[in-house]
Homo-oligomer: A and B are copies of this chain.
Amino acid sequence: MEANLASKTRRCVQKSSASPVYRQVAELLERDMQSSRSRSERTALPSENELAAEFKVSRVTVRQALDELHRKGLIYREKGRGSYPRSQHIGGVTGFGSFTSEVENAGSSPSSRFVDFVKVSSLPEGMKIHLTKVPSKSKAYHCLTRVRCVDYCPVAYEETYLDIEAYPGIERADVENGSLYATMRHLWGYEPAWADAAIEPAVADEAIAEHLDIKVGAPVVVAWRVTSSEQDEVLEYVRSIYRGDGFALTVRRHKIS
């Protein structure tokens, strides 16, 4: 019986809350692990039965919480031994998800410089080459062009293509400012859930070089991405051009196989 991460008396979960109990348990455990990370190196979490007793929930519910932490790569589990926290990983910009929230999580200050918002009659060629789920027939799109900045330093030139039919009334929305994902959520109820992406290297041409404040011919990363909702609707096509100096795209904690 060794010391573990749990304190004897623990705050309780609320059975009749907006969020399910297993999620409340997961969040409490995640907070515990963050606060006591430095101290204990490789101490096991309390066992599933102990946690069930502490939170006064069934073992199935505890397991749901632990499975969620496992999926996020925060713990690993060993049959016959216990569940252990995995070492911490620091944040970075992955090129997936909301640029705004990603940079904020990394501890920096995100901003965008609006460049353009126009209608186009087709997607760029590279989109068809690199990605699936791209319609072959020509459709009309809104094209929102922005320069993405971290701490007011330009790091990416980004074109976002939105199907005109899927975003009715977008003319009245304020796409020039704020997070596009927040607007998508708020006005049309769209929730980005999955992304498929392709990455290729390139060198900056004159226009890109000017936008990103780098030399012509400097190495850049071009990322092609299609973002879909949980229900498999395509929400956006994105072409991002990241500058290569001192600013790396990171892919965090990716499950293999």
Contact = CB atoms under 8 A, between A and B. Distances in A.
Contacts of A86: 194, 232
Contacts of A244: 200-202
Contact of A254 (B87, B196, B224, B248): B196
A219 interface: yes
Given A201-B201, A231-B78, A130 B250 contact: yes
A90 to B, nearest CB: 5
A230 B84 CA distance: 10
Given A194-B73, A196-B250, A248-B198, A97 B256 contact: yes
B219 A252 contact: no
Given A232-B86, A251-B251, A257 B97 contact: yes
A96 interface: yes
Copies in the complex: 2
A186 interface: no
Interface range on chain A (Cβ under 8 Å from partner): 35 or more
B197 A219 contact: no
A84 B228 CA distance: 15
B230 A194 contact: no
Contacts of A92: 198
30 contacts: A73-B194, A78-B231, A84-B231, A86-B194, A86-B232, A87-B133, A89-B132, A90-B132, A96-B251, A130-B248, A130-B250, A192-B256, A194-B256, A195-B251, A196-B252, A196-B253, A196-B254, A197-B250, A197-B254, A198-B250, A199-B199, A199-B248, A200-B221, A200-B244, A200-B248, A201-B201, A201-B242, A202-B244, A219-B219, A227-B256
Given A201-B221, A251-B251, 20 more contacts: A71-B71, A73-B194, A78-B231, A87-B133, A89-B196, A97-B257, A192-B256, A193-B255, A194-B254, A194-B256, A195-B251, A197-B251, A199-B250, A200-B244, A200-B249, A201-B201, A201-B244, A202-B219, A202-B244, A203-B203
